[in-house]
Amino acid sequence: MLNPSQWFTEQVPEAGSAFSLKIKQKLHEEQSEFQHLEIYETETFGNLMVIDGCTMVSTRDNFFYHEMISHPALFTHPEPKRVWIIGGGDCGTLREVLKHPSVEQAVQIDIDERVTRLAEIYFPELCESNNDPRADLKFIDGIKWVKDAEPNSVDIIIVDSTDPIGPALGLFSEDFYRDCFACLSENGMVVQQSESALLHMKLIGEMRGAMSTSGFKNLQTLFFPQCLYPSGWWSATIAGKGDLSQFREQDCANKPFDTTYYNADIHKAALAQPEFFKKAFNL
């Protein structure tokens, strides 16, 4: 919501909290086939994309999310060559994935093309790898894409989705995770944004349970700051066919590309589990 004093505020009634950014102007607004899209110019966070009233991405702080949903999984896999991004329409995750020299193909599957077209205009820095020959952008149903995929089709599936409502609801289901398991390669893994451990423990528990019953026996939930999202503290959960206890630390330390937040120390720190989280899931 935009109040008379020109602050965009996302309220979280169930948490009794809200997050606000001071706005210079509204740059764009439309109702796509799937969702309501708004773009604002803020005073201190650059441009801001809002989908269905929820903050999605800002110029200033998107690097936390995009780096942490991609690099930990890619450095945990022994040799990621084929990566699918389900959602991710702003293309920031695609950019991070394609920084890895081992990646031969990165397919981004987002149902709403308008998100990508607006990102190309208002977040061009996130879209700088869209024309990479390894990139393939598809604007179709990601759930159906995974269901129809052949076995051994992909090494890593990154689920870069909105909250589990509307078009994204099916991405948090046991059926979807079973389809992911079926098409992943031997050491394959799926990584998905898993909301805030401070506000959404029930959802995280349901996700981890559905991943486990779908065949994934190795799970990791990692934590990182994200001030734009409710509570300012976010997470991603990795479900792997193979062992997730080690990552390619030396490769990470010598990575041939720049990051803003992620490095080997951050990778290790992100996997430290809070005491309440350990107790909740008997870790």
Q: Which amino acid is present at 221?
A: T
Provide CB contacts within 8 A for 209, sequence distance 6+.
Answer: none
The neighbouring-strand residues paired with 99 are none
Q: How far apart are CA 283 and CA 278, in angstroms?
A: 5
Q: How far apart are CA 185 and CA 173, in angstroms?
A: 21
Q: How far apart are CA 197 and CA 211, in angstroms?
A: 17
- Active site amino acids: 160
Q: Which of these, 238, 259, 269, lies nearest to 92 by C-alpha position?
A: 259
Pair of tokens at residue 274: 């809070």
Residue 2: DSSP 8-state: B
Coil/strand/helix, residue 10: strand
Each as own residue / partner, the long-range contacts of residues 131-137 (CB below 8 Å, 24 or more positions apart, any chain) are: 132/98, 132/106, 134/98, 134/103, 134/104, 134/105, 134/106, 135/94, 135/98, 135/106, 135/108, 136/105, 136/106, 136/107, 136/108, 137/91, 137/94, 137/108, 137/110
Q: Which amino acid is present at 135?
A: A
